[in-house]
Structure 1
Amino acid sequence: MDEGGVEREYRKRRKQPRTQLLLLGLLMVNAFVQTSRVSRDGGGGRDWWGPPVFALVLVLAIGRIALEQFRARTRVTAAGITAQGAVRARTWAWSEVYDIRVEQAPRGSGRAAPQWLTYLYDFRGRRFLLPHLNDWQVDDPYAEVAELCLAAAPLRSITWERRPDVEERILRGTVRRRAWTWGAYGAIAVFCLTFVADIGLVAVGRHDHPFLLMVCVPLAAGVALAVVLDRYWSARPPRSPAPQP
């Protein structure tokens, strides 16, 4: 931290929880089973592409987790804020930052993930996650963000005032994210149903369609649910996420 109190960097401090590693392992086992099944040809043999596809999925999953944990960071300077993600980095000058808010993580994350995340909002109402500025890596993210905003106030050409037009766009984005989150939940529920249906088809000796049942149908159902909820909730938008005073 510099003399003005704004120079700081947020990086990974805690290890990945074992529950996340266990979940990744279960997903990899499922991917192996599915690629093994769908790569069987009509003569009982195997096509060549099953093992390479599984290896590619495994490498991509492990690589993304490693990049997010060891490369991602949030850097704050007198010039602005830089959010370094797994692959790309994005920088905002202080004049481009509308607000910085600590918000509760989506429900269902449990103790295997941070419960409070920090987002940067620009003047178009768009929301961007600030990596590692959460309750896992920072003891008190609310106090940290409040101190950060106070230290950055002299560096901005405007104050941290609320603007109705930006708040309306933020509300619209909240509705959209909420709809697609429930669409994802719906897709997972449909996947569970189609998985059971696929097992039933195999048990009775009927020809199954694993790609259609466990990929196409859940995705289509999730998109349809998200579109319907987005239109329905647009007329009744939720409250904007409240920043820490």
Structure 2
Amino acid sequence: MNLDLVLARFDAEVRANPAPPAGIAVERRDGLVLLTGGFNYVSAWDLTTQTMGGAVAEQVAWFRARGEELMWRVYDHDGPPGLAACLAEAGFEPAPPGTLMFFDLAGDVAGAPADGVEVRRVRTLEDLDGFVSAGGKAFGHEEAWQRAAFAKQLDDPDMALFIACVAGEAVASARLEMAPGRTFGQLFGGGVAPAHRRRGLYRALVAARVAEARARGLAYLSIEARDTSRPILERLGFVPAGRETTWTLRPYGLPEEASAASS
């Protein structure tokens, strides 16, 4: 894999020209590409050291006037210099950093789970409840907004939700997002309930999404990996492309827990 070429392609295709999920709009203003709607996210930008301060201040004013949260993800290779410090000064708060990783779908992933584990794609509302519940077990809190958002997309070919079940109970979940005419699929989630870790469920969920993406004719997968997931993904053939930090601007007076629940 030519990492520089893949990274440039990712920036141009996924970030600068995003294909938003249902209910999310793409806006271009002040040198920024933003996703807005169910969540607000700065996807790409064309800023200089001279223009970034004004652009950041304008977005802070815009979203705080509406009482809405805004996320801005910054990668190692992003400019302009001093952007992270500018975001911090404007009131954005950093999440723990992760690692952007790519997988070349010309390769393969071995991901057979332990006996008694079933991995399947979510097709029903019952399985969607299991998906949300499994995420809650894995990460410590349920993302309740997912029920309403994903219920409308169970037959959407551009999004695939997966669960891993033990004795009929969903104990792990993961998501794959795709878009027509694109070469990248994006991996999200990938959490396993603590009592069921070290049984191959995470690897099996990756393998299921690799198979789905390859069937769609995609060339690569991307993921922003937590430090706990990165070693597993590297063993599966994912290649690190640099660190990333997601900066979040929270509405005035809204505690972090309440803000996260509404995003």
Higher helix share: 1
**TM-score bracket relative to the smaller structure:** under 0.3
More strand by share: 2
Structure having the higher Rg: 1
| TM-score of the superposed pair, with normalisation by structure 2 | 0.22
